[in-house]
């Protein structure tokens, strides 16, 4: 098992790693819209946060030697299900291979985030 850590994605905000590789798969922790350069959630609402989430996922994928096309499964969490359509429009630009997905609304997300996405990918 290998731990993935990159400065191009936010550091963990708790006792966990950004991702682990095991058995040829990458298991990535959920990413929220934290800009790693400033260590805070980006301004601009759901769209800006979703774009930052995708940048953070890209950084973890790159650090592991994987890519968006190798993502097998995503789990997506929204603070408000009314944001489902806007989230999907951005999500579709990145996950063009259409991995399996679950998407749910939750009561709260860490740091007041509006969106969180975790992934499983081949490496």
Q: Given this model, what pLDDT does residue 13 score?
A: 78
Local confidence pLDDT in tens for the 123 residues of the chain: 999 999 999 998 789 999 999 999 999 999 999 999 999 999 999 999 999 999 999 999 999 999 999 999 999 999 999 999 999 999 999 999 999 999 999 999 999 999 999 999 999
Domain ranges of the chain: 2-122
Q: Identify the residue whose tokens are 């007041």.
A: 112
The answer to whether 29 and 118 are in contact (CB under 8 A) is: yes
pTM (two decimals): 0.96
Dist. CA 109–CA 78, nearest whole Å: 8
Q: Given this model, what pLDDT does residue 79 score?
A: 98
Lateral strand order in the sheet of 25-31 = 2-4, 19-22, 25-31, 115-122, 71-78, 100-105
The answer to whether 11 and 111 are in contact (CB under 8 A) is: no
76 is known as an active-site residue = no
Q: What is the CATH architecture assignment of 2-122? A: 2-Layer Sandwich (3.30)
Q: Given this model, what pLDDT does residue 12 score?
A: 85
Catalytic position from the list 103, 118, 120, 123: 103
No. of helices (H) and no. of strands (E), the chain: 2, 8
């Amino acid at each position: 098992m290998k731990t993935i850590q990159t400065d191009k994605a936010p550091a963990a905000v708790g006792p966990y790693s950004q991702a682990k590789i095991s058995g040829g798969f990458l298991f990535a922790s959920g990413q929220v819209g934290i800009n790693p350069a400033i260590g805070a959630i980006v301004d601009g609402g759901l769209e800006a946060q979703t774009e930052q989430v995708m940048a953070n996922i890209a950084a973890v994928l790159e650090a592991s030697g994987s890519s968006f096309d190798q993502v097998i499964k995503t789990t997506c969490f929204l603070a408000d299900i009314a944001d489902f359509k806007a989230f999907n429009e951005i999500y579709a630009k990145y996950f063009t291979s259409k991995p399996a997905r679950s998407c749910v609304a939750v009561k709260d997300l860490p740091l007041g985030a509006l969106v969180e996405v975790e992934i499983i990918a081949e490496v």
